[in-house]
Amino acid sequence: MPVSNPADLSDLLDDVAVQQHHIHSRARVYPQDVGATITLAAFATANTFGSWTQIVPINTIDFMYMAIGIVIETVNASTTYLIQLGYSITDGDDPTIAQILGERRLLLPTPVNKATELLTIHAFHCAANAKLWGRLKSASGAADQLGISVVIIRHRMISNPVTNLTTWPWST
């Protein structure tokens, strides 16, 4: 089907450029201090999330961004974990259900033997200046902990994005 409207062609070309940017975007890791990690702690009841923990402070990234991966750097117990990421646009507020970005489940041995492996996470974008959060639950029933870092890239919107659901996980 030929494109008859020049604006449609321009949108299409812009969207292709956005996709190319996503694939070839520069990445940044948080925390930036190589001697530090973000510690996520599970609640001391099996299958119950611990508190939200700040990963990227508010007003740190002044453009829309995406978390594309998590690196597990330390672990204190061999068990199954579920990591959830979220964001908030005000400093004192935890993420709302609509601001939960995505999850990653994994089984970890101790000690961690593949600490440099990037675990991909599929998530939608965070607003400019948003605070990035993480939380953890485990299968063990103990207050297990993971030390993580998170990989971030810049996000650019396409001309006709699909609206994110405000419910979690996917109820309509």
Predicted pLDDT at 21 = 61
Predicted pLDDT at 22 = 63
Residue type, 149: S
CB neighbours (10 Å) of residue 68? 18
**Are 135 and 53 contacting, i.e. CB atoms less than 8 angstroms apart?**
yes
Is pLDDT of 74 > 80?
Answer: yes
- The pLDDT tens digits of the residues spanning 119-134 come to 888 888 999 999 999 9
Structure tokens that stand for 132 in this block: 């990035």
pLDDT band at 5 (very low <50, low <70, confident <90, very high): confident
Convert 8-23 into a string of H (helix), E (strand) and C (coil).
Answer: HHHHHHHHHHHHHHHH
User: What CATH number should be reported for the domain whose range is 27-154?
Assistant: 2.60.120
Average pLDDT, rounded, for the chain:
86
pLDDT band at 6 (very low <50, low <70, confident <90, very high): confident
Is pLDDT of 40 > 90?
Answer: yes
Is pLDDT of 115 > 80?
Answer: no
Structure tokens that stand for 108 in this block: 């970890």
pLDDT band at 172 (very low <50, low <70, confident <90, very high): low
The alpha carbon dihedral of 121, 125, 129, 131 has a sign of: negative
Cα angle: 115, vertex 63, 89; to 5 degrees: 85
End-to-end distance of the chain based on CA atoms, in angstroms? 33
- The pLDDT tens digits of the residues spanning 44-65 come to 999 999 999 999 999 999 999 9
pLDDT band at 114 (very low <50, low <70, confident <90, very high): low
Percent of the chain with pLDDT over 90: 53
pLDDT band at 118 (very low <50, low <70, confident <90, very high): confident
H helix or E strand, kind and range, residue 5: none
Residue with structure tokens 């199954």? Answer: 80
Q: What is the CA radius of gyration of the chain?
A: 18
Residue type, 22: H
Spatial separation of the C-alpha atoms in residues 20 and 49, rounded to whole Å: 36
**Are 150 and 56 contacting, i.e. CB atoms less than 8 angstroms apart?**
yes
